[in-house]
Amino acid sequence: MTAVLDIGPLRSLVAVADCGGFQRAATHLHLSQAAVSQHVRRLEAAVGRPLVERHGRGSRFTGDGEQLLGQARRILALHDETLRGFDVDTEETVTVGCTEHAAAQLLPSLLSTLEATAPGYHFRFRIDRGLKLREGLSTGRIDLALLLNADDPHAVPVGELDLTWYSGPTWTPPSAPTPVSVVAFDNPCALRNRALETLAAHGVPAVIGAEAMQLAGVHAAVMAGLGVALMATLGQTPEGLVVRDDLPRAEPLQLYVCARHGLPTEVSEVVAQALRPLLGRPAPLAVGA
């Protein structure tokens, strides 16, 4: 057998997926874009099939490319684990996906904790909608994801996110029977569902008055007086908004750590252990403690 899958090209292939393109992968690996492209061509020559194809202004993985990407992650994990067994320093990059809910308050503390407790890993973060993060886990583009109300039986619960109603400074509740205008993320969204369910459970009529794909859009709509929004902010009121204690209290949402297939359990637990104190949930006692 003359075909060989070298470690360098495999690392470039994974970087293209994780970084979102050849140029970003080259920057991350401290290589030229031409070198990364050459690495991918070497892999294509080895397997005899195209791995990456043009798509609009960018590129995307072919079906064979997605298949090799998953195998590449396993090969690199075993490669790096072998080197660590000989006390050779290696730093594994772990991509953590998170929705925008409480990201500004949660991620800085999480990163500081991980840097102190997991020196053998480099953590990269991706902020996106829950649906996209789930897709990233299934394709291996994301190693871990912090998700609300996950339905994965292997998901690790790490704590609850308290939810608070916010409005602009000039907003006032409408008189019945006029419905409360709610500002929400586009569907699907756990916060959107919880907001509408909470109001309905207390007999408060509601209507979606504005929708947005990103948190900045929700903030802007609320500040403009288009309605109220239910948010997870870890007790920190967003600038320009006010807390609405005159609306029904919403039950918190559970936050989970979800891992891609094949990721070592120890990596998930490192992140889970770092998150629990930040959410006010003590770490579980060790067996026999």
Question: Cα(210)–Cα(227) distance, rounded to whole angstroms?
Answer: 7
Q: What is the 3-state secondary structure (H, E, C) of 52-88?
A: EEEECCEEEECHHHHHHHHHHHHHHHHHHHHHHHCCC
Question: Cα(122)–Cα(136) distance, rounded to whole angstroms?
Answer: 18
Q: What's the pLDDT at 1?
A: 54
How far is the CA of 273 from the CAs of 93, 99, 242, 276, in angstroms? Answer: 18, 19, 32, 6
Q: What's the pLDDT at 163?
A: 94
Q: What's the pLDDT at 288?
A: 31
Q: What's the pLDDT at 206?
A: 96
Question: Cα(80)–Cα(281) distance, rounded to whole angstroms?
Answer: 33
Q: What's the pLDDT at 286?
A: 35
Task: Provide CB contacts within 8 A for 64, sequence distance 6+.
Answer: 47, 49, 50, 51
Question: Cα(102)–Cα(251) distance, rounded to whole angstroms?
Answer: 16
Nearest of 245, 145, 251 to residue 190 by alpha carbon:
251
Q: What's the pLDDT at 227?
A: 96
Q: What's the pLDDT at 124?
A: 86
Residues of the chain falling short of pLDDT 50: 283-289
Q: What's the pLDDT at 36?
A: 92
Task: Provide CB contacts within 8 A for 42, sequence distance 6+.
Answer: 6, 9
Q: What's the pLDDT at 281?
A: 56
